[in-house]
Chain A
Amino acid sequence: MKSTYLEAISSGLREEMARDESVFCLGEDIGVYGGAFKVTDGLFDEFGEDRVIDTPLAEAAIIGAAMGSAIMGMRPVAEMQFADFITTGFNQLVNNAAKTYYRWGAKVPMVIRCPSGAIGNAGPFHSQNPEAWFFRVPGLKIVTPSTPYDAKGLLKAAIRDNNPVLYFEHKALYRDKQISQVLPDEDYTVPIGEAALRREGTDITIISYGKMVHKSLEAAEVLSKDGIDVEVLDLRSLLPFDREMILTSVKKTSRLLIVHEDTLTGGIGGEMAAIIADEAFEYLDAPIKRVAAIDTPVPFSPPLENFFLPNTEKIVETLRDLAAF
């Protein structure tokens, strides 16, 4: 039977909690109610109130408490109800959790689940992709699964990792039947730091992650009808990211497009472009291009949101420009 992205996350959580008593969940409305998106549905009944903890509405306390319990040897999985809300716990993550092991050697094995991305015209505070704020924080890891298989495997890897890991789960993928997959019965993990080659090609490389991987694949399909062969890399992990696979691909295709749903300026794409410019400059046959959201808050009204977001058409158009250069 096929699993949705959301079912894959739930089943990953359930299996890790069953496997290891030190794994527990905390967050707002995650227990009795089962979470705003129902990711933790059923876990309260299955594992009890001590391991599925409904917290007060207080992100700094949630993240700080996750850190304290992690230092004591627990493996907390904290849910931000929306990734947007992580800002009120920012200091606990970037100054406290991220720097602890480096400073005085205490391991902080914790996962922060962050439902992110735009869906359903949720406006400026329920639609953001805040990964870039954390991308420049040494000591944090960041994963951004795009498929049910990776959602489960990366969650398990994140829970078993001895560092603070931000786990961005794109809300638009939760119940997308088109990406449902049959998952292995046996236990598996997806290693943090390894990208996946989603489509092989020889003419242009797309580097993407999260929901935009699927838009990139759609665009690649369109271009293939013009005889342009696009390679699509899914980063899967942003921190650390798979430098080797990116370089190998760009050296092969000589053209690069980076696609993310986060806004353009200061996004992950800038760093990818810098690395390619630095280490593969002589292989490039065209300027490095980026497709991303425009540099505004995420607007609410459907026409505004549609204009704001990157989509298949924008990717297709930029790919054509790149191919023609």
Chain B
Amino acid sequence: MSIETAPPATEADLSGQDPDDLGLSRSDYRTLFFTMFLQREFEERIYRLFRQGRLAGAAYAGAGHEAIAAGSGYALSKQDVLLPMHRVIGTHFLRGHTPRDMMCQYMGRANGPTRGRDGNMHCGSVDKKIISMISHLGSNIPVAVGVALASKIRKENLVALTFIGEGGTSIGDFHEGLNFAAVRKLPMVLIIENNKFAYSTPAALEYACENLIDRAPGYGIPGVLIDGTDVREVYKATKAAVDRARNGDGPTLIEATCTRLEGHAQHDSASYVPKEVLEEGWKNDPVVKAANMLVDDQHFSPEEIEAIKTEVVGVVDDAVSFAEKSPVPVPEDALKDVYAD
């Protein structure tokens, strides 16, 4: 079994690469950047609304994970199935949950994707091929296995893409699911978003191997280590893994490194994260990095980048005002839909 290992983040140097070898057009790059900035802007707004008491429940952000969200989500084809986690809201946007949908979801409105039954990132859609996460991280890895199994049984050629944090790799479902997928060569891609902290627990207290992809050979599958702050690298690695899965060659484990730029959730100041880790993380901000890359590669002018940002701010403004005007659920609706007909 060959192990493809891309250079770790610190050694990555894309300056000499021809961006066009990914087969992405200017319009593709626009979508990627739009998605990344939308994730950043949307979640900053969520935090602000939460502090203002305009949101119920809890607010999570994926600041630092934008490249993972956009790059991986964009590597899927329409028939593929996405099983996202809470730091990749950009993948929801790419598959058709609109900012209005997600804002209604956060605000517990009757017209949100779960009609107020669940909050924040806990939503899915059969039509959009998004399977909702649950709070028990790792649980959706076996579910992705089932999606991939159904695909194989029916020869549908679709791929299941799911995620886990470096902390979530400690739970049993990670092992059970990955092993099952490997044994049956199922079309599944699992991305570890390694942001160095599981809530407050540092990576060194979650695993003892050097990199988490070191586990891949133990499952007999390829492991790919990538810089999760580089959207092109994420896209490239995910696309290769998705193609491989679609060809019937089985699952791939991708470890995408990044820095969690905020606390675990809005309530968490993350005082336990060393200052220099955060400083380094912000210096390597994936959103800024993507904007610079697009300008440096002369895909977009700085003015065009600013225009995209302005457009995104407008989209988020619209989502907030739409959600705040949307109806809240009727209390008795809580009784409905415990069972499907």
A residues near B, CB below 8 A? 24, 26, 50-51, 53, 55-56, 58, 60-74, 76, 88, 91-92, 95-96, 99-109, 138-139, 141, 162-163
Q: Measured between C-beta atoms, what is the minimum distance from B92 to chain A in Å?
A: 12
Interface status of B132 (Cβ within 8 A of chain A): yes
Give which listed residue, A50, A55, A64, A163, contacts B339 with CB less than 8 A: A163
**Do A104 and B117 have beta carbons less than 8 Å apart?**
yes
Report the contact-size class of chain B (Cβ under 8 Å from the partner).
Answer: 35 or more
Closest chain B CB from A62 CB (angstroms): 8
A99 to B143, CA, bound (A): 14
* Nearest CB in chain B to that of A74: its residue: B150
What's the A-B contact tally at a CB cutoff of 8 Å?
141
Instruction: Point out the residues of chain B lying under 8 angstroms from A102, CB to CB.
Output: 117, 337-338
CB closest residue in chain A, given B186 = A65
Residue pair A69, B146 in contact (C-beta under 8 Å): yes
Tell whether A68 pairs with B142 under 8 Å between CB atoms, given A55-B180, A101-B337: yes
Decide yes or no whether B317 CB sits under 8 A from chain A. Answer: no
Give the residue of A50, A51, A64, A141 whose beta carbon is less than 8 angstroms from that of B143.
Answer: A64
B177 proximal to A (CB < 8 A): yes
Q: A24, A61, A68: which has the most chain B beta carbons within 10 Å?
A: A68
Residues of chain B lying within 8 A (CB to CB) of residue A68 = 131, 142-150, 160
Taking CB atoms, residues of chain A closer than 8 Å to B292 are none
Complex Cα distance, B149 from A66, in Å, reads 9
Q: B136-156 toward A: CB 8 Å interface, digit per residue (1/0)? A: 100111111111111111100
| Residues of chain B having any CB pair with chain A under 8 Å | 81, 113-114, 117-118, 122-126, 131-132, 134-136, 139-154, 160, 172-173, 176-177, 179-180, 183-184, 337-341
Residue of B81, B150, B154, B172 ringed by the most chain A CB atoms within 10 A: B150
- Asked if A104 and B339 sit within 8 Å, CB to CB, the answer is no
Residues of A within 8 A of B117 (CB): 102-104
Instruction: List the A side residues contacting B146 at CB < 8 Å.
Output: 64-72, 76
Q: What's the Cα separation between A250 and B179 when bound, in Å? A: 52
Instruction: Report A-chain residues with C-beta under 8 Å of the C-beta of B139.
Output: 64, 91-92, 95-96
Contact, CB under 8 Å: B341 / A162: yes
Q: Are A163 and B340 interface neighbours, CB within 8 A?
A: yes
Alpha-carbon gap, A67 to B15, bound state (A) = 45
Known interface pairs A69-B147, A104-B117. Does A60 touch B176 (Cβ–Cβ under 8 Å)?
yes
Which chain B positions have C-beta within 8 A of A53? 149, 184
Q: Complex Cα distance A258/B167, Å?
A: 46
CB neighbours of B134 from chain A (8 A): 95-96, 99
